[in-house]
Structure 1
Amino acid sequence: MADTAIFDVDGTLVDTNYQHALAWFRAFRRYGITRPMWRIHRGIGMGGDMFVSEVGSREIEETHGDDLRAAWVEEFDQLIDEIQPFEGAHELLADVKDRGFRLVLASSGKSQHVEKFLDLLDGKSLADAWTTSDDVEKSKPEPDIVATALAKVEGAGGIMIGDSVFDARAAAKLQIPTLAVRTGGFSVGELLEAGALQVFDSLVAFRQALDGTPLARAGR
Structure 2
Amino acid sequence: MADTAIFDVDGTLVDTNYQHALAWFRALRRYDITRPIWRLHRGIGMGGDQFVAAVAGREVEEAHGDDLRAAWQEEFEQLIGEIQPFAGAHELLADVKERGFRLVLASSGKTEHVEAFLDLIDGRSLADAWTTSDDVQASKPEPDLVSAALAKVEGASGVMVGDSIYDAQAAAKVDVPMLGVRTGGFSVGELLEAGVLQVFDSLVAFRTSLDGTPLAKPRR
Q: TM-score range by the shorter chain?
A: over 0.9
2:84 is the counterpart of 1:84: yes
Q: Is the contact between residue 85 and residue 121 of structure 1 (CA under 8 Å) also seen in structure 2?
A: yes
Are residue 24 (structure 1) and residue 4 (structure 2) matched? no
Q: Which amino acid aligns with 1:133?
A: S
Cα separation, partners in 2 of 1:153 and 1:218, compared to 1, 3 Å: farther
Which residue identity lines up with residue 187 of structure 1 in the other structure? S
Deviation above 6 Å: which 4+ runs of structure 1?
A: none
- In the TM superposition, residue 219 of structure 1 has moved relative to its aligned partner by 8.5
Alpha-carbon RMSD:
1.0
Aligned to 2:97: 97
- After superposition, the C-alpha distances for 1:63-90 in whole angstroms (9 at most, x for unaligned) are 0000000000000000000000000000
* Structure-to-structure mapping, 1:93-172, within 5 angstroms: 93-172=93-172
Q: Deviation at 1:218? A: 5.0
Say whether 1:42 aligns with 2:42: yes
For residues 83-140 of structure 1, the C-alpha deviation after alignment (integer angstroms, 9 at most, x for no partner) is 0000000000000000010000000001100000000110000000000001100000
Unaligned runs of 5+ in 1: none
**Identity over the aligned pairs, expressed in percent?**
80
Q: Report the Cα distance in structure 1 between the residues aligned to 2:216 and 2:197, rounded to whole angstroms.
A: 14
Q: 1:71 maps to which residue?
A: 71
Give the distance between the partners of 2:105 and 2:82, measured in 1 at CA: 21
Q: 1:141 Cα shift?
A: 0.2
Residue equivalent to 2:3 = 3
When normalised by structure 2's length, the TM-score is 0.99
Residues 44-63 of structure 1 aligned to structure 2 (within 5 Å): 44-63=44-63
Aligned residues between the structures: 220
Deviation readout 1:16-55 (Å, 9 max, x if unpaired):
0000000000000000000001110000000000000000
Which consecutive unaligned segments of at least 5 residues does structure 2 have?
none
Contact kept, 8 Å, 1:192 with 1:199, in 2: the verdict is: yes
What is the CA–CA distance in structure 2 between the aligned matches of 1:22 and 1:55, rounded to whole Å?
14
Alpha-carbon shift at residue 61 of structure 1 (Å): 0.3
* Aligned partner letter, 1:106: A
Q: Distance in 2 between matches of 1:169 and 1:46?
A: 10
Q: Which amino acid aligns with 1:66?
A: D
Q: Distance between the aligned counterparts of 1:15 and 1:190, measured in 2?
A: 20
Shift of 1:217: 2.7
Q: What is the match of residue 212 of structure 2? A: 212
